[in-house]
Each structure stands twice: as structure tokens, then as C-alpha cells.
Structure 1
Amino acid sequence: MDEHLYIVTYDISDQKRWRRVFRLMRGYGEWLQLSVFQCRMSRQRHAELIALLDGMIHHDEDHIVILDVGIAEKVAPRVVSLGKDFEPVAREPVII
């Protein structure tokens, strides 16, 4: 399965919408910082996430950026991390 590594960051103007987006993102990736997630997803999960986020935000007030870092198995992120250690999200089984 070709999974890509994504960095998702968002600026949501309304606290209630921010919490909804945060809860959704916790189901798709690893929380890095306040409004930043690291996600390892297939193309299908990526499209699903975009559709869900698109329906949640107010397009004239909010902003979400999704950066495709590359194929998860091949990417070797060069990261400078001060404070807590940074670890790329690993492939894990999904329990449904």
C-alpha cells in the first residue's frame, strides 16, 4: 500500500470548530503541536480527510494546509526539533 506522509496544519477562527477539527485529526494522525498533525495515509484516506475537513470549516474565515512530504516508506524527514523528540509516524494496524 502506497501511503504518503502528510503534515497538516490549520488556523480555525472559531473555538468550537477548532475542537471539531482537532478531534477529527486525532483519528487520522499523530498530534505534534497545537494545530499541527503528522499523518500517514493512503490516497483514499487523504481524499476522505479532505472531504470531511472541507465540510467543517468556514472557507472565508479558516485555513488548512496539507503538505505531502512523499511516500512514507521512502521519506527521511530532516527535522530540527527543540525540546521533545520528533519521531515520524510509523505504520500501525488499523482496528475497525
Structure 2
Amino acid sequence: MSRRRYLFAYDIANPFRLRKTCDVFESHGTRLQYSVFLCHLTRAELEILQYRLINIIDPTEDSIIRIDLGPQHSPADVHQIGRPRHLPHTGPQII
């Protein structure tokens, strides 16, 4: 299965929904900033993630932005300024 890299950023108004949203992202990706995650996902994993998020957020108060960074084998460059972050390596990983 082909994986793509996605950058997600969210703004959740309610503390309970915020914690649940964060938990979902922590199970699917790597935190880059407080409300920004980098995820390497197959199409099926993306669908599962989106389904879980839709069932948590209130679309009248909350927002989630997804940016497609491209295929994992040819990803968009992610540059950092300042304190370095340990970004996930491309390719399969055993955790």
C-alpha cells in the first residue's frame, strides 16, 4: 500500500473535544507543534482517521486542516527554523 504524508493542524473550541482530537492524532502521527501533526498514511488509514475525527468535533465550532505533502517515496520538503524537531523517517518503521 502506498503511503502519503499529510500535515494536520486543528483548532478545537471545547477542552473535552480537544483532548479526544489530540488522542486520535497521537495514535496516527507525530506531533510537530501543539496542534500540528505529521502523519504517514495509506488511503484506508486516512479514511479511518477522518471518520474518527468527524465523530469527535463540532463542525460549527471546530476546524481541522489537512495538507497533502505528497507520496512518501517522493515527499515535499519540510524545513525547520530554530529548535530542531525529530521528524519521522520515510519508509516502514517497526515500533
Could you say whether these structures have the same fold, taking a TM-score greater than 0.5 normalized by the shorter chain as the test?
yes
Report the TM-score when normalising by structure 2.
0.89
Per mean C-alpha deviation after superposition, the further-off stretch among 78-87 and 3-12 is 78-87
Any idea what SS the aligned residue of 1:56 has? coil
1:66 aligns with 2:91: no
Report the TM-score when normalising by structure 1.
0.88
CA offset digits 1:28-64 (Å, max 9, x no partner): 0001110000000000000110111011000000000
For structure 1, list consecutive stretches of 5 or more residues without a partner in the other structure: none
Whether the 8 Å CA contact 1:25–1:37 is kept in 2: the answer is yes
Any idea what SS the aligned residue of 2:21 has? helix
Whether the 8 Å CA contact 1:40–1:89 is kept in 2: the answer is no
1:9 aligns with 2:1: no
Letter in 1 for 2:23: R
Counterpart CA distance in 2 for 1:84 and 1:62 is 29
Once the two structures are aligned, what percentage of the paired residues are identical?
27
Query: Aligned residue for 1:47?
Result: 47
| Structure 1 runs (4+) greater than 4 angstroms displaced | none
For structure 2, list consecutive stretches of 5 or more residues without a partner in the other structure: none
Q: CA deviation at 1:92?
A: 1.4
Whether the 8 Å CA contact 1:39–1:89 is kept in 2: the answer is no
